[in-house]
Amino acid sequence: MVKRIYDAHRRKIGYRTFYMVLVELLETPKNHKRLIRKFNLFAKVRRANLYKQIDKATQEHAVCPNLLNRKFEQNVPGKVFVIDITCQPNHSGQMAYLSAAKDIATPEIVVYEVTTTLTMELFIAC
């Protein structure tokens, strides 16, 4: 029964989840930690994402200088732009992302881009 529970969770079950399943199946659950050790059943440990570690290591893009300094009311057109991204599911269930760049001085959208993937090109296009 222990092996069936372990295999049903595709060998990714930890001892807490294992205990909750045992409580559902048995009226008086056994010591779940002892059972896991006895049958040598351990959850697969997810590896850390190397790209996140590299990104954290390079502090170049972590903090950007505050050039605007909360002065959102600008009078010169074409000087300050803001970008907003909106996601919306389409009729097929796939997500569509709309990225629009707006000039703060004027109420007009300068450029927009619609894609189905959220990538850096979406920001660069604007």
- The model's pTM is 0.45
Share of residues in the chain with pLDDT > 70 (%): 85
- Among 126, 59, 70, 76, residue whose Cα is nearest residue 97: 126
What is the bridge-based pairing of β-strands 95-103 and 109-115? antiparallel
pLDDT average, residue stretch 48-64 = 67
The tens digit of pLDDT for each residue in 20-47 reads 888 888 877 777 777 777 877 777 766 7
Q: Which two tokens stand for residue 59?
A: 């502090």
- pLDDT-derived band at 114, boundaries 50, 70, 90: confident
pLDDT value of position 123: 66
What DSSP string describes 54-123? HHHH-TTTT----SSTT-----STTS-EEEEEEEEE-TTS-EEEEEEEEESSSS-EEEEEEESS--HHHH
> What are 69-100's pLDDT values in tens digits?
888 788 888 888 888 888 888 888 888 988 89
Residue 86 vs residue 57, higher pLDDT: 86
